[in-house]
Structures are given as C-alpha cells and as structure tokens.
Amino acid sequence: MGRPSLKRALLRAGIVRPSPDAPPAGRKNRGVAPPPLVFLPGEAPVPEPPPADLAALFGRSAPVELEIGPGRARFLLARAREHPERDFLGAEMEEEYALIAQARAERLGLTNVRFLRLDGKAFVRRLTPGSLSALHVYFPDPWPKKRHHKRRLFDAAFAADAARALAGGALLRAASDHAEYWEVIREVLDAEPGLAPVGEDEAGAWEAGTSYEAKFLRQGRPIQRGIWRRGPRA
C-alpha cells in the first residue's frame, strides 16, 4: 500500500508522470537521448521531468544530500545506510549505472535513496534555494581535451547554482585525480561569494570511498580533495 500511494501522490503533484517527449522507436531516432528516469524502490522506472520538490519525491521532509555522478553508488549507498534519518539522491547520466545502483539499494532494503537519470548540472539549477543539506561531486569527468572543456561540470555558473541550492552551513565536497581540472574546480568554487573553503580540522576528515577513489589509491595516483561551506542565507 505504501509504495503505490507514494506513486499516486507523486503523480497528483506532477512530480512523476509519463513524458510526452519520449522519442518514438525507429531508425531515425537512434542516438536520441531518452527522457530522465526516476527510480522508486520496488517499482519500474518512470519517465519524468526533474522534480523541484524533494520532499514530495521522498514522501517525507528530511535533510537531502545529492551526489552528482554516483556511478554504482558505493559511496551514496554506504552513506544512506549510516544515516537513515537523511535522504540521498544520485544524479547519474549513465542509465546502466543508475539501474545497478537502484538494484543494490533494493537488496539493502534502503528506502531513503533515489536515483535520477539526468544531467546533474541542469538538475542543480532547478532545485529550490536552500534545499540541499550537502552536495558531493567525486571524480567528475575532466574532459581533458580543450575542445571538450565546455562539457565540464564545474564552471562559474555551476558554482553559483550549487551555492544557491545549498542550505546555510551546508557543505560541498569534491575530489579529483586530474591536476589541471582540480585547479579549475578550486578556482571557480573559491571565487563563488556564497561558498567558503574550509579545512578538514573544521569540517572533519573524510574519504569519499567511491569505486574510482579505491581504484586510484591502488594505482598510487594523487587525489585532490576540497570542502566548501555555504555561508549564512539571508
């Protein structure tokens, strides 16, 4: 009864609904990206536009942490297990990874985690101001070729959107193994007036514990990490 009633509530609220924009099957539509998917525990994926009301998505009012690009969600699922009083959202572009992550969440019996197949950068732009209690971005694609730099997640616009989406005092944690991209990340976040860098002595020491982090540590690759805090909201 619980899951169907939640789905009906989301449908009534317009948070989850069949998308009219799904491209029809056929040769001419090969390569056309499908609409975003939201994965509700125990239910089939449902095409839908990104929700603005996170409380409606989770069916309760609780602090929400977002990870952009969780992959198979090793970090996010561990965090959801440790903090049942919080809700966790993964924005993942790769549908295969989102499906794997959701299957793992269901096996673990987690009801406080959701996965969305969508572009995290655009999603953060749509969030209600102050709606996130934390934002995690670990090992985003560095797009090393100069002609691809426009595809990178971190730029001044994203930093401003992230600051707007974070609640006062909330943390943005980031990590990268790519030295040049890390300088870009650090510069754009340091330049954002709504964010201030904080040290581990203040925010607490941490490791992301992602699959990429474990792989890079095994390879002996240097990893850069940083923490930024959202200033008090007016």
Can you tell me the distance from the alpha carbon of 171 to that of 153, in angstroms, rounded to the nearest whole number?
A: 18
| Burial (CB count <10 Å: 0-12, 13-18, 19+), residue 201 | exposed
Structure tokens at 6: 């939640």
Sheet holding 166-176, edge to edge: 46-47, 37-39, 113-117, 87-91, 64-68, 132-138, 166-176, 224-230, 195-198
8 Å CB contact between 115 and 98: yes
pTM of the shown model: 0.77
Structure tokens at 59: 């069916």
pLDDT in tens, 25-41: 344 444 444 444 555 44
Average pLDDT over residues 86-112: 90
Number of H helices and E strands in the chain, helices first, is 9, 9
The domain ranges of the chain are 34-230
| Burial (CB count <10 Å: 0-12, 13-18, 19+), residue 195 | buried
- Average pLDDT, rounded, for the chain: 79
Q: Residue 159 pLDDT more than 50?
A: yes
Higher pLDDT, 181 or 71: 181
Out of 87, 141, 161, 201, the active site residue is: 141
- Residue 141 annotated as catalytic: yes
Q: Which of 113, 123, 32, 104 is nearest to 65 (CA)?
A: 113
Architecture of the domain delimited by 34-230: 3-Layer(aba) Sandwich (3.40)
Predicted pLDDT of residue 22: 40
